[in-house]
Amino acid sequence: MVFLDKLCIDQQNEDRKEKGILSLAGFLEISDELVILWSPSYFGRLWCTYELASWLRFSQLNDITVMPIHLSPVILCIAFSMWGTILCYIEALSVAYSVAGSHKVDLAGLFWGSLCITVGAILPTHISRHLAQSLGSLPEQLEHFSIREAKSFCCSHNHVHPETQEHLPCDRRLIFDMLEQWQYHFSNNRRAYASSLDSFDFHVRQKLKPWILRNIGGAEVPFSLLLATTCVPFLCWTLSCIPAVLKLGGLPAFRLGLEAALCSIVLGPCVPKFILEISAAGVDCKDPGRGDLLFTVLKSTAFVVLTSLLWASIHLPLTMPEHVGWQLASAAGLVALTIAILRRPSCRFPRT
C-alpha cells in the first residue's frame, strides 16, 4: 500500500483535511518501513518533515530506507549506454573483420572498444556528477534543519489557490499543533526546549543526521540494483558464447566460458559502480559552462582507464597457454576484488 498525501488527504474540505493530518501518524504506525525518495528539496518541505516526524515517533532509524530520487535516471542512463556501447562494439568488429580480415580483429577490437566505452561513459558520468553535487548539499541541510522554515503550498501562496482563487486551509497550523502533542517522543527533558518544534529540530540534527549520512550516497547502490542494470547486456553476451563453448570443447572452451562468466559477474557490476564512485569522488565543479564539461570528460576518462585495467585483468591471464591453475587463481582473485569493491564504503559527498 502506498500513501500519497494529495490523494489520500482531502485538500478542499478543511475539516476532512484536519482529520487526514491527524490520521497520518496512525497510518505510519502500522507500516513496516518508511522509504524516503530524497531530493534536494526534501528536508525543506513541510509535509515531508511531518511524515518523518510521525515515523520517528513510533519507529527506529533502521526501519528507514533512503534512496535519492535522481538515482533512477542515472541507473537507466548507464543501462542504455552499456547497450549502445556493446552494440557499437559488435558492429565495429564486424566491419573490421570484413575489411581487414581476422588477423587484425584483435587490434581493431581494442581500438573500437576503447572508443565506444569513452563515448558511452560521458552521459552517465555527467548525470552522476550532478547527482553527487546535489548530495553534497545534504550535510548542510541537516545541520541547519528547522521545521519552522519548511515550505508548504498554502503558505507559499498566501492561503489562496493560484488557479481557483479559493481559500486554502493552513497546513502549518495543523501540523505544528500535532507536533506540540508529541513533545515527549523527541525528548525526555521537556524543559530543555521551548517547544516540541525545537525538540524535533534537535532530534534531526543530532540523531538523524549521522544516520542519514551513513546510509545515503551517490555511489551507495545495492548489489542487486547494479546486477539488474548490467545483467541483460552482459548476460546476453555470455549466453551467446554457450554454442561456441559446446562446439570447441577442451581447454579453448574452458577459457572462453571463463572469460564470458567473468565479464558477467565481475566487469558487469563494476561498470556502474565505477561510474558512480568516480563521479562522487574528489573535487568537482559547479560551473555550468566549460568547466562542467571538462570535469565530465576528465572523470569519464578515469572511468575508461579503470575499466580497461579490469578488462585486461580478465583477458590477459586467459591468453597464457596451458596455465589452467593460474587462470583459475586469477579468476578467484578477480571475484574477491569485485566483492571488496562493491562492499567498499562510497565516497558520498564531493568537495566543491
Q: Residue 200: name the closest of 298, 54, 319 by CA.
A: 54
Q: Give the separation between CA 50 and CA 147, rounded to whole angstroms.
A: 9
Q: Give the separation between CA 147 and CA 235, rounded to whole angstroms.
A: 48
Under the banding of pLDDT at 50, 70 and 90, the label for residue 256 is confident
Under the banding of pLDDT at 50, 70 and 90, the label for residue 349 is very low
The SS3 of residue 158 is coil
The SS3 of residue 68 is strand
- Whether the CB-CB separation of 125 and 300 falls below 8 Å is answered with yes
Share of the chain above pLDDT 90, in %: 0
315-341 residue pLDDT tens: 777 777 666 777 788 888 888 888 887
Question: What is the value of pTM for the model shown?
Answer: 0.68
Is the pLDDT reported for residue 194 higher than 60?
A: no
Is the pLDDT reported for residue 234 higher than 50?
A: yes
The DSSP symbol for 351 reads B
Q: Residue 335: name the closest of 279, 238, 265 by CA.
A: 265
Share of the chain above pLDDT 70, in %: 72
Q: Does the CA dihedral 156-160-164-166 come out positive or negative?
A: positive
Mean pLDDT for the stretch of residues 267-295: 74
Q: Give the separation between CA 193 and CA 181, rounded to whole angstroms.
A: 14
101-125 residue pLDDT tens: 555 555 656 666 667 777 778 888 8
Q: Which residue has the higher pLDDT, 289 or 20?
A: 20
Q: Give the separation between CA 313 and CA 259, rounded to whole angstroms.
A: 10
Under the banding of pLDDT at 50, 70 and 90, the label for residue 218 is very low
Under the banding of pLDDT at 50, 70 and 90, the label for residue 285 is low
Res 110: pLDDT = 62
Is the pLDDT reported for residue 48 higher than 80?
A: yes
Q: Residue 74: name the closest of 4, 133, 140, 136 by CA.
A: 133
Helices marked H in the chain: 5-8, 14-29, 46-58, 71-100, 105-136, 138-143, 153-156, 171-180, 183-186, 196-203, 209-215, 223-240, 242-248, 250-262, 268-280, 290-315, 324-343
Res 221: pLDDT = 58
Q: Does the CA dihedral 110-113-116-119 come out positive or negative?
A: negative
Q: Does the CA dihedral 40-179-173-197 come out positive or negative?
A: negative
Q: Within 13 Å, how many C-alpha atoms sit on residue 11's CB side?
A: 14
Average pLDDT value for the chain: 75
